[in-house]
Structure 1
C-alpha cells in the first residue's frame, strides 16, 4: 500500500493535530501500512505539547467537543468523563480481572442458559424422540427451519427493543419467557406441538447474542472484546459437555412416571434456564455507573475504579458515549446502517462460512446411533469434540489478536473442515469402521470457531454505536440464514451416508474460502481508494474535512477498514 503523506505539523493547529492524529492512529491499526500508523502516532504526540496518543482527549478543544456530545446525548457515564485522569497498567489489569469475574463470567452463564435449550433437541433425538412423536428426519429438519426463521425474524426487532429499554432488562426477560416454553416441551404430543414450540423458542431467543455483545461492549475495549467473546462462545462447548453428562443421567429416567427420558430432559433443563433468567435481573447492571442498587448498596467499583472503567472505554472509542443506554435507534439511523455496503462482505462470510460444519454437528447423535452406538454412550461420545472445540476457539482468537490479522486467521476454520467433508463424502470406511467414522466426526466438529473474530470485526468496522448495534443483528441474521440453508443439506432420502449432502458441503466450503479472500481484497482496495482521495486533497482541504465533515463511522474518509 502506498504511504499517504501526512499534513505538515507546522501548519496544523492543536485541534486538528490531535483530532486527525488520533483518528488516523486508530483507523490505520491493522489495516494500513506500518509507516502510516507510525506517522499517525507521531502526528498525535508530536513536539513538546505533551499530548498522549493513547488519549484522544489530550487536546482540551477535542475533549470539550466530546463533552458537549456526551451532554447532548445524555450519556449515562458523562459525569465520570475525565480527559486528564491517568492510571497504571496494574490498576487497569486489576479492573479487567474484576470485569471478567462480574461481567464476562455472568455473560457466559447466560449463554449457557441459551445453549441448554438450543442443544438439548439433539440429545433428545438419541432417546427416540422422533419415533415417540411419529416424526422423521424431514420433520426434524422442518422444525429446525421454523426455529431458525423465527430466530432470524426476531434478531433486528430484539436489538431495537434492547437498545430502547436496555439489555440489562430485555435479556433476563427473554430468558424467563423462553425457559417457560422450553419446559413446555416435556408435553409434546406430535408434529404440530413440536413446530409450535420451535417457533416460540426462535422468536424469544432471537436477538440474545447481539444484545449480549452490546452489553459487553459497555465494559470492554475493542481490543479486549474478541477474547471475551471467545470465552462467551467457549461456554457453548462447556454447555455441550455439561448437558451431555446431564442427558446421560436424565435419559435413564425413561419409564419414570410413564415419561420418556427426553421429556425429563426438557423439563429439568428448562428449569435450569429459568433460574438463570431470574438471577440475571439482579446480575446485569445497566452500565459501569449503575452497579449500586438496593440489593447491592456498595456497587462493584470504588470511585477510582469507576473512573478508570469509564474513561478507558471512551479513550478506546469516544463514540461509545454518543448514545445513552436507553436511547432508541431512529428509523433514519437504522436505514443508514442497513445500506452501509462496506459491511456486506462480513455478512456474506456469516452466511456461508458456518454451513459446512453445521449438518455434521447437528446430526452427530443420529450419526453415532446409525453406526452402532447406544443412546447413552452417544451423548458421552460428543464430549471430546466439545473439549477440542474450546481449545481451538481460544487459540484461533488469541492468534488473531497476536498477529492483528482477521481474514487469514478466521479462514483457518474453512481450511480445517474442507478435508474432513471430503473424507465424509469419499472415504469408504464410513460404512464399516464405526470408530474411524467417530474420529472423523470429532475432528470435523472440533474446528477452530471463528465466530468471535467475525463479530468483533463487524463491530470494529461499523465504528459507531448505532451502526454497531444494527450490524451485530444483521451479521447474526446472516449466520442464521446460513443455518437455515444448512438444514436442507442432509435429507431423509440421502441417509445414512448423505453422499449428496456431503458433496454440497464441499462446494460451500470452497465458496467460503473464496469469500474470505474476496473480503480481504475488498477492504485492502477500499483503503487504497480512500488513501488516493485523501492524498489528492490539499492540506487545507484535509484540515477542513477533519473539522467539518458530517459523515460518521465507517463512512468517514479518514477511517480505514480492519481486515
Structure 2
C-alpha cells in the first residue's frame, strides 16, 4: 500500500508519471473499497502489457464468439421479414397499402418501451443469464411467426418479438463493458455489431437457400425462413446458458491473478471508483441518462438508425426496383455484396478507433460516404449507379453502432450509469428505427425520393451534431482544468464523491 500512496502523491504533483506497483497493490486495487485512481483520475497502477494482451486474447476467445452469434440471429430474426416480403408474405396475409410499414412499426413500439427497463434488468439479473434467456425467447417468437395466417396475428408476434429483442444490443454492450477497457471496448463491440451487416448478407444467402426447399415439415414458402432461423436461434441460446460468464469474479476459466488484473484494469480508468460492479442506484442511473455526451450521442444514433434499419428492412425492395426482371432468389443474392463491404468497414473503423483511443472523430468520418450514396440515389435512376450507391451506404453506417455505444460507455464512471447510458443510446437508436419503417412508402416507389431524401438529411445532421459535440467536449475539458479538485471535493464523503460520476472535477470527457 505504500507504493499506492507514493503513486498518489506523485500524481498530484502536476501530472507526474504513474508509479509502477507490485502484484500486491494490484490485488488491493481489485478488492472492494480500494480505488485504482487518485482524485485527479490518474491510475495508481501500471500493468504488464504482455499480461494484458494474454488476458484480452482469453476474453476474446471465451466471450466474443457467443455474443456475436446470438446477435447475428437476433438481427436475422428481426430483419428476415424483408426477405419474407418479396417471397410472398404480403400476399398470403392479405396485406395492402401501409400494412407492411405498420408491421415494422409495431416491433419498434415494444422495442423502444422496453429498452431501458431491459438493460436495468440485465444489470439486476446478471448478463450471463439475462442475455441467453431473452435470446431463447425471441427465437421461440420467431419460430411462431411461421404459423401466422392473418395480419393481426403477425402484428401481435412482432410486438412480442420487440419486447425480447429490446435488451439484446444494449445488454451485450453493457456486458462487454464489464470486461474491456475504454480503448479496447469499441473494437470488441464491433465484433458483435458487425453481425448486423453480416445478417444482411448471411440472411439473404440463408433465405435464398431455404426458399430452394420444397418444404420444412408441413411448412412451405416464406414461412420456412422464420421456422429454420428461429430453430437455429433457440439452439444457440441453450448453448449460451453454459458458455457466458457473468463477470470476472465468477469466471472459472480465469486464474485468480487474471481476475485481479481484469478488475484492476477497469477501475484504473474510473475516477473515485472503489468497486467495478456497484449497487443499483437511482442517482447514478440518472447520471448515465443525463450526461451531455450520452444525450448528444443518442441523438446521433437515432439519426444513424433511420439509415441502418431502413437499409435492413428495405434493401430487398430497393434491389427489386433496380433489377425488376430478375428472379426472387437472384434479387435476394444481390443484397449480399453491399453487406459484405459494410461488414469490413464495421470492423475497420472501430479498429482504427481502438488504436487511436478516440470515437467522436471516427463517428464524424462515417458521414461523408453515406451522404454521397444518398445523393447518388436522388440524382440518378441508372440501375448500376444506384446499386453502386448501396455499397457506399453500407460502408459506414453500421460502424456507428459500436462507436456510439463505446462513446457513452467511456464517458460515464459507474457501472450503473453505464447500464442506463447504453440503454438510452440504443432506445433512441430504435426511435430512429421506428422512423425508418415509414421512410420508404409504397406510393413513393420505385425511386423513393422521400425515403432517400430523409436519409440524406439524417446523415447531414449527424455530421453537424457530431462535430459540435466534439468541440464542446474539448471546451469543457479545458474548463475543468481550471477547477481545484481539492476545493470542489472538500467536505464530501466517499459515497458523495462516487455519486458525482461524470460531474467529478477530476473527470475528463474522452472524445
Alignment TM-score > 0.5, same fold: yes
Q: Superposition RMSD on alpha carbons, in Å?
A: 3.0
Q: Distance in 2 between matches of 1:56 and 1:402?
A: 30
2:305 maps to 354
Aligned to 1:438: 387
Unaligned runs of 5+ in 1: 1-12, 22-38, 46-50, 72-82, 292-298
Given the superposition, is the C-alpha separation of residues 504 and 19 from structure 1 closer, same or farther in structure 2, using an over 3 Å criterion? same
Q: Is it true that 1:530 corresponds to 2:507 in the alignment?
A: no
Q: Could you state the TM-score of these two structures normalised by the residue count of structure 2?
A: 0.88
Q: Name the residue aligned to 2:39.
A: none
Structure 2 counterpart of 1:31: none
* Alignment match, 1:161: 121
Q: CA deviation at 1:438?
A: 2.1
Instruction: Give 2:408's aligned residue.
Output: 458
Task: Determine which of 365, 368, 373 is the counterpart of 1:420.
Answer: 373
1:386 is matched with 339
**397-406 vs 270-279, which moves further:** 397-406
**Aligned position for 2:509:** 561
C-alpha change, 1:163 and 1:528, in structure 2 (3 Å) is same
Please, which moves more after superposition, 343-352 or 84-93?
Answer: 84-93
- Local SS of the residue matching 2:181: coil
Give 2:9's aligned residue.
17
Deviation, structure 1 residue 500: 2.4
> Residue deviations 1:496-534, cap 9 Å, x none?
1111222232222221111111111221222222233x1
Whichever of the two has the greater Rg, that structure is 1
5 Å-filtered alignment, 1:272-421, equals: 272-291=232-251, 299-317=252-270, 322=275, 324=277, 327=279, 329-370=280-321, 371-372=323-324, 373-421=326-374
Distance in 2 separating the partners of 1:56 and 1:375: 64
1:205 paired with 2:205, answer no
CA 1:316/1:53 → structure 2, altered by over 3 Å: closer, same or farther? farther
Quick one: structure 1 residues 352 and 242, their matched pair in 2 at CA, closer, same or farther if it must change by over 3 Å?
Answer: closer
For residues 154 and 470 of structure 1, the distance between their equivalents in structure 2, rounded to whole angstroms, comes to 12
CA distance in 2, matches of 1:238, 1:517: 29
Per the TM alignment, residue 386 of structure 1 is displaced from its structure 2 partner at its CA by 1.7
Give the total of aligned pairs: 495
Deviations 1:316-370, CA, capped at 9 Å, x for gaps: 4477763648x4x233433343333453211221122332444344211112223
Give the aligned partner of residue 5 of structure 1: none
Q: Tell me if structure 2 keeps the 8 A contact 1:55–1:315.
A: no
| Cα pair distance change 1:383/1:169, threshold 3 Å | same
Shift of 1:126: 2.2
1 CA distance for matches of 2:54 and 2:356? 25
Matched, 1:541 2:487: yes
For residues 156 and 288 of structure 1, the distance between their equivalents in structure 2, rounded to whole angstroms, comes to: 24
**Aligned partners of 2:23, 2:271: CA distance in 1, in Å?**
10
Residues 319 and 465 of structure 1 are in contact (CA less than 8 Å); yes or no, is this contact kept in structure 2? no
1:269 pairs with one of 229, 244, 251: 229
Displacement, 1:122? Answer: 1.3
Mapping 1:86-165, distance limit 5 Å: 88-136=48-96, 138-165=98-125
Q: Cα offset for 1:255? A: 6.1
Question: Per-residue deviation at 1:17?
Answer: 2.8
Q: Which residue in 1 is equivalent to 2:451?
A: 501
